[in-house]
Amino acid sequence: MLYESKMNFIMKGFFKYIAVALAMTLLAVGCTPEILTLEQIRDHNVDQKYKAIPVGFTVDETGKVINSFETMYLYCDESFWGFGEKFNSFNKRGQTVTVWQRDAQSTNSDISYKGMPYFMSSTGYSVLMNTFTRTHFNMGATSGVSYTMEAEDPYLDYYMFCNRDYKGLIRDYTELSGRSAMIPRWAFGFWMSRMSYMSRAELEEIVEQMAAFGMSVDVIHIDAWQPNFEGSFLPSCTGDLLIFDEVVTGFRIGPSGAQGYFGVDPDLTVFGKIIAGGYPGAGGVGGHADCMAHLGAGLDSSGKKIAKAMCGGTMAATPISCVAGYYALCEIEKRNACEVAGRMGDRLTAGLQKLIKKYDLPFVAFNQGSICHLDNAGTMHFSVNWKKPWTIPALLKETGIRQREMEHIGAAYMAEGIVTLAGSRLYTSAAYTEEMIDDVLRQKDELFELMKGSD
């Protein structure tokens, strides 16, 4: 192993990985007598201006360190894979990648739900950025001899794994992070999803078309967000298990969530972290007793051993989070919070609809209780012509352009103190008043007027 460091570092295991927790470091790592990678400190033009700055950090006007970065050598034939769920090319060389969990609302951009600051190199090493902050990676997009990794964190904290074998890299990584149970065999099959199937007849037609093409579909994901959600979708008539994802809607649309709103009785329901009232937790799972019996620990109520399914997560079953969740739900019920927040959502949506009409904007505003949407792209999916698939890429490209514009609008909201999700989703709470909502609408009115004037 070859290494050089200006700061202290910690080595764990038998050359399996190196943990670096530094504000500045110089590192060259190898598990054999050859160097796998090294810091790049001379990536500059002939005029000595840097194309990529070596290891360092950035400070704001007060002198506070706001991000840190490291620049490594890039070999001419080096490739990279990783970063979690991404919808662009598999080899990440030549790309800029941002890892931050966001509502993608499409599959035609770098935005994704399940990003991960981990990547593998074809030279035989991998890197895990150990931070909860937003991370950025320039994997040779602006230089042919270096790549840069950056964290919006004052400390640069990452692990480097050394193993010529890709399976070995994954093995060493999971040894550090923890290994989950093997998923069922059917989960490795072909999954199909779109936004969204409007009826069971349409869904069955798609299945028949896939069969005609000779393509087997193992799982079809029904993204049933639309108001005209049809009972004909429900698996109860087929004997299949119905699982509701209420990470967003649980205890927000109403005390009974989306299932109460739509009048559906799922077998299992998954809830988000908000169930813990702000305390650390992995959310929650609820459902019918016959299903929940397979998810709990130990013996069932009869004292008999029962087959268990894997049900784990970060901070799972933390007692203080369970107690916090219980009292948070009690407060929601006592204060009638869902209805109060829903009324604020109705007021905000009605105001947005008036502004859209006033300025003749290509937007759509709608809400389900306190979940408010201001959309400029989603309705374009209804114009997809599946009989002419060659027209779809142009439509998706335009959708991406519109979504990026909405993100810019979201940044303008933020400058006025209005926090949104990428500019297109707004949440109200029981703490809001009519005066607050009216003030938000006034600021949006000013922004829309400015947008219209710049056309």
Cβ-contact 150, 135 below 8 angstroms: yes
Q: How confident is the model at residue 350 (pLDDT cuts 50, 70, 90)?
A: very high
Instruction: Indicate if the pLDDT at residue 20 is higher than 50.
Output: no
What would the pLDDT profile of 368-398 be if each residue is shown by its tens digit? 888 898 888 777 777 777 777 778 788 778 8
Other CB atoms within 10 Å distance of the CB of residue 254? 19
DSSP symbol at 111: -
Q: How confident is the model at residue 22 (pLDDT cuts 50, 70, 90)?
A: very low
Q: Which of 177, 198, 215 is the last residue of a domain?
A: 177
Alpha carbons 400 and 377: distance in angstroms, whole number: 8
Instruction: Indicate if the pLDDT at residue 310 is higher than 70.
Output: no
Helices (H), 221-317: 257-262, 289-292
Instruction: Indicate if the pLDDT at residue 322 is higher than 50.
Output: yes
Instruction: Indicate if the pLDDT at residue 16 is higher than 90.
Output: no
DSSP symbol at 227: T
For the chain, the domain total comes to 2
Classify residue 210: in a domain, yes or no. no
**The predicted structure's pLDDT at residue 344:** 94
CATH of the domain at 106: 2.60.40.1760
- 163 Cβ contact partners less than 8 Å away, ≥ 6 residues apart: 16, 31, 124, 125, 126, 169, 171, 172
Classify residue 192: in a domain, yes or no. no
Give exposure, 400-435, as e/b (b: 16+ Cβ within 10 Å): bebbeebbebbeebeeeebebebbbbbbbebebeee
Classify residue 211: in a domain, yes or no. no
Q: How confident is the model at residue 32 (pLDDT cuts 50, 70, 90)?
A: very low
In this prediction, residues 447-451 reach a mean pLDDT of 81
The identity of residue 25, as a single letter, is T
DSSP symbol at 410: H
**The predicted structure's pLDDT at residue 132:** 86
Quick one: CA dihedral 430, 436, 437, 438, positive or negative?
A: positive
Other CB atoms within 10 Å distance of the CB of residue 221? 13
Angle at 160 between CA 91 and CA 70, to 5 degrees: 75
In this prediction, residues 327-351 reach a mean pLDDT of 90
CATH of the domain at 382: 3.90.1150.10
Classify residue 250: in a domain, yes or no. no
Classify residue 346: in a domain, yes or no. yes
Cβ-contact 18, 4 below 8 angstroms: no
Find residue 222's DSSP bridge partners. 194
Q: How confident is the model at residue 34 (pLDDT cuts 50, 70, 90)?
A: low
Classify residue 446: in a domain, yes or no. yes
What would the pLDDT profile of 273-297 be if each residue is shown by its tens digit? 655 555 556 567 788 888 887 776 5
What is the extent of the structural domain holding 168?
A: 10-177
Residue 21 C-alpha from the chain's centroid: 26
Alpha carbons 444 and 410: distance in angstroms, whole number: 11
Question: Which stretch of 42-51, 169-178, 426-435, 442-451 has the lowest confidence by average pLDDT?
Answer: 42-51
Find residue 122's DSSP bridge partners. none
Tokens of 346: 């109705």
Alpha carbons 323 and 319: distance in angstroms, whole number: 6
DSSP readout, 429-455? Answer: -TT--HHHHHHHHHHHHHHHHHHHHT-
Alpha carbons 127 and 140: distance in angstroms, whole number: 16
Q: Which of 177, 207, 235 is the last residue of a domain?
A: 177
Q: Which of 177, 210, 240 is the last residue of a domain?
A: 177
User: Quick one: which of 363, 377, 271, 353 has its CA closest to 316?
Assistant: 271
Q: Find where tokens 């009216």 sit.
A: 438
Angle at 96 between CA 418 and CA 175, to 5 degrees: 95
Classify residue 287: in a domain, yes or no. no
Alpha carbons 297 and 293: distance in angstroms, whole number: 9
Classify residue 318: in a domain, yes or no. no
C-alpha to C-alpha distances, 28 to 83, 160, 166, nearest whole angstrom: 22, 10, 20
Alpha carbons 243 and 55: distance in angstroms, whole number: 47
Residue 269: strand, helix, or coil: strand
User: Quick one: which of 81, 98, 110, 100 has its CA closest to 137?
Assistant: 98
Instruction: Indicate if the pLDDT at residue 50 is higher than 90.
Output: no
pTM strictly above 0.85:
no
